[in-house]
Amino acid sequence: MAHTDKVSYWELITNGIVKENTIFKLALSLCPSIAVTSGLKNGVLMGAAVLFVQVMVNITISLMRKFIHPKVRLPIFMLVISGWVTVTDMSMAAAVPDVYKQMGLYIQLIVAFASILARAEMFASKNKIAPSMADGIGMGIGFLFALTVISFFRELIGKGSLWGMPIVDAKPLLIMILPAGGFFAVGILMAFFNWIDIKFLKKGVSASH
Amino acid sequence: MAEIKKEHQLIVSVSPHIKSEETTSRIMWSVTASLLPATIMGAYFFGPRAIFTVAISIIAAVLSEYIFQKALNRKIAVSDGSAVLTGLLLGMNLPPSVPFYIPIIGSFVAIIITKQLFGGLGFNVFNPALIGRAFLLISFPKLMTIWKEPTAAFVHLDAKTTATPLGILKEEGVAKLMEVFGDKINLYTQLFVGHRAGSIGETSAIALLIGAAFLLYRGYISWHIPASFLGTAAVIAWIFGGLSGKGGALFAGDPIVHLLSGGMLLGAFFMATDYVTCPSVKKGQILFGIGCGFLTMLIRLKGGYPEGVMFAILIINCFSPLIDRGFKTRVFGAIKETKAKEIKK
């Protein structure tokens, strides 16, 4: 993965959004993609929180990478991640208390997200600060994008509204805001993005080795 | 070299050597035919609206199948009758008065999400028609529980809404059920004929039994699943059915009411026996049926819904592959691994 000299920052960012999209391609961190995406507002805020944590963790780990002994690297990564999650958690509790009431638990759960630890281990601990930041931004935006798309469709179909405002005046498909509908939405969107990948980008086969 | 006469030639070919005339499409169309009596009874009791709902459901199912197979350049297999059967079963499981888009959404979910996305006929884990109905029940809880009072002919277009026997049993108890239907004999007769509120195709026990007898006679379904399903449900209904309400006692339930109401017969004979989603080993099928019966009665007596057949079958569907593994027949001549080790020693 230490291939930053040849790869531009732009490619690092798009890699996280398209080729290695956390949810649609790597199928990591699926828990929040179902649990908090019943409304667009929750989905976007969750995505933003993860974007922030991912970037800050990548920068911190990259700064510290020369001082971390390989044998204790995982506990140290976890400490850094929980530190930044605590920062996010407290800021959100102060800034948007009503949303925090609904999804506070999931904000704290960001600590356990596979995607964040994976990027710290695979990328930030082996690369300089600037590329690590680019990678964090790409991964975070990819996650934000996925959560936004999922919650967009789930709220539109399940409640007939967007960001809490009623849009469609028809009987909503109630199942879409229930957990089962979350699985439907993630599955169908995953299939759709993979289909685009194979059909138009022709990278579907090589990206998955 | 001398020419060998045709009748003396040894022809080597790949098995199977003896082929049955039964094909998938023949079985599917037979099951469809066996459901017709119940559908006709439903149409008789609930009027043109019921026919309309079933028809839309079938058309939507067939179209979904056709469009999906066309879009994916797969072989168009609409004529095998499986989509028609799924549509018919879904239609029969809907309340008579649903708006037209309900069967369309249900058929779409049943055919595309439950069947085709899992790989088509033979690969689906769950019964498509039941998933379609479960999707609708969860999405439109109010519309899916408006039950029309049956009318004896095609005359009354605007029938009153009422509760199903199971709904009455759940909400108000046995006494109220007796009050509505008069005496016990009348209750049994009405349930047996199908003169009660319920889904279009589930009400008439006699029509369902005629269809089931036909399938059993032709050997398309075996007795294992229906017998163990209905048997377990009857036993549980008899033991625990009387416990609800004041002064309840063990062994005081009425198994006949439970067997004849709700979707019990339709589920036991036509849905649980779906070849794709039930275990293929006979012993396993009995366990499958017991599980269905147990869960059905658990939901009916203790759960939030008055009827549990649909969820029971769907939940037990998940266990089918496991049950098949558990009751795997012994390979001829093979011995168990532990025994083989002993022999080696």
* Sign of the dihedral through C-alpha A42, A48, A51, A53: negative
Look at residue B277 and tell me whether its pLDDT is greater than 70: yes
Q: Please, which pLDDT band fits residue A196 given cuts at 50, 70 and 90?
A: confident
Q: Do A174 and B138 touch (CB under 8 A)?
A: yes
pLDDT of residue B210: 94
Look at residue A6 and tell me whether its pLDDT is greater than 70: no
| Mean pLDDT within A7-24 | 84
Look at residue B272 and tell me whether its pLDDT is greater than 50: yes
Phi–psi pair at B327, nearest 5 degrees: -105, 30
Confirm if B19 and B75 have CB atoms less than 8 A apart: no
pLDDT of residue A23: 87
Find chain B residues with C-beta within 8 A of A191's C-beta: 117
Count other Cβ atoms within 10 Å, centred on residue B333. 5
Packed helices B24-46 and B205-218: angle between N→C axes, nearest 10 degrees: 170
- Total residues found in chain A within this entry: 209
Q: Which residue of A lies nearest to B139 if distances are taken between CA atoms?
A: A174
What is the C-alpha to C-alpha distance for residues B345 and B333, in angstroms, rounded to an integer? 20
Q: Please, which pLDDT band fits residue A63 given cuts at 50, 70 and 90?
A: very high
Structure tokens given for B243 = 């416990």
Q: For residue A188, give how far its alpha carbon lies from the nearest alpha carbon of chain B (Å).
A: 9
What is the C-alpha to C-alpha distance for residues B131 and B143, in angstroms, rounded to an integer? 17
> How confident is the model over B135-169, as pLDDT tens digits?
999 999 888 888 888 876 555 555 678 888 888 88
| Domain extents in chain B | 25-144, 165-324
User: Beta partners for A166?
Assistant: A161
Name the nearest CA neighbour of A136 among A96, A80, A186: A80
Radius of gyration of chain B (CA): 23
Phi–psi pair at B76, nearest 5 degrees: -75, 115
How many CA atoms does the CB half-sphere of B177 hold within 13 Å?
25
Percentage of chain B lying above the pLDDT 90 cut: 46
> How confident is the model over A84-132, as pLDDT tens digits?
999 999 998 998 888 888 778 888 888 888 888 888 888 888 889 999 9
pLDDT of residue B60: 96
Confirm if B60 and B109 have CB atoms less than 8 A apart: no
Radius of gyration of chain A (CA): 18
Structure tokens given for A140 = 């975070």
> How confident is the model over B220-268, as pLDDT tens digits?
999 999 999 999 999 999 998 877 665 677 787 888 889 998 899 999 9
Phi–psi pair at B342, nearest 5 degrees: -60, -45
What is the C-alpha to C-alpha distance for residues A147 and A186, in angstroms, rounded to an integer? 9
Q: Do B135 and A175 touch (CB under 8 A)?
A: yes
What is the C-alpha to C-alpha distance for residues A45 and B296, in angstroms, rounded to an integer? 42
What average pLDDT does chain B have? 87
| Mean pLDDT within B273-301 | 92
Our measurement of the distance from residue B309's CA atom to the centroid of its chain's CA atoms, rounded to an integer in Å, reads 8
Q: Please, which pLDDT band fits residue A209 given cuts at 50, 70 and 90?
A: very low
> How confident is the model over B179-201, as pLDDT tens digits?
888 788 888 888 888 888 889 99
Q: For residue A173, give how far its alpha carbon lies from the nearest alpha carbon of chain B (Å).
A: 5
Q: For residue B132, give how far its alpha carbon lies from the nearest alpha carbon of chain A (Å).
A: 12
Q: Is the peptide bond before B96 cis (omega within 30 degrees of 0)?
A: no
Name the nearest CA neighbour of A85 among A44, A46, A124: A46
Look at residue A137 and tell me whether its pLDDT is greater than 90: yes
What is the C-alpha to C-alpha distance for residues A57 and A5, in angstroms, rounded to an integer? 21
What is the C-alpha to C-alpha distance for residues B42 and A17, in angstroms, rounded to an integer? 54
What is the C-alpha to C-alpha distance for residues B55 and B180, in angstroms, rounded to an integer? 32
pLDDT of residue B154: 52
A194 in contact with B at a CB cutoff of 8 Å? no
> How confident is the model over A166-182, as pLDDT tens digits?
887 778 888 888 888 89
Structure tokens given for A136 = 């964090």
Question: Tokens 């828990």 label which residue?
Answer: A31
Q: Please, which pLDDT band fits residue B304 given cuts at 50, 70 and 90?
A: confident
Q: Do A173 and B141 touch (CB under 8 A)?
A: no
- Determine the Cα angle at B288 with ends B283 and B293, to 5°: 130
A160 in contact with B at a CB cutoff of 8 Å? no
What is the C-alpha to C-alpha distance for residues B28 and B114, in angstroms, rounded to an integer? 18
Look at residue A26 and tell me whether its pLDDT is greater than 80: yes
What is the C-alpha to C-alpha distance for residues B187 and B258, in angstroms, rounded to an integer? 12
Percentage of chain B lying above the pLDDT 70 cut: 94
Q: Do B139 and A184 touch (CB under 8 A)?
A: no
pLDDT of residue B310: 94
Highest mean pLDDT out of A12-26, A98-112, B94-108: B94-108
Confirm if B223 and B230 have CB atoms less than 8 A apart: no
Packed helices B205-218 and B184-193: angle between N→C axes, nearest 10 degrees: 50
Helix (H) or strand (E) holding A56: helix A40-64
Confirm if B45 and B152 have CB atoms less than 8 A apart: yes
Q: Please, which pLDDT band fits residue A208 given cuts at 50, 70 and 90?
A: very low
Highest mean pLDDT out of A39-48, B190-199, B205-214: B205-214
Look at residue B326 and tell me whether its pLDDT is greater than 70: yes
How many CA atoms does the CB half-sphere of B338 hold within 13 Å?
0
The more confident residue out of A105 and B340 is A105
Q: Do B138 and A175 touch (CB under 8 A)?
A: yes
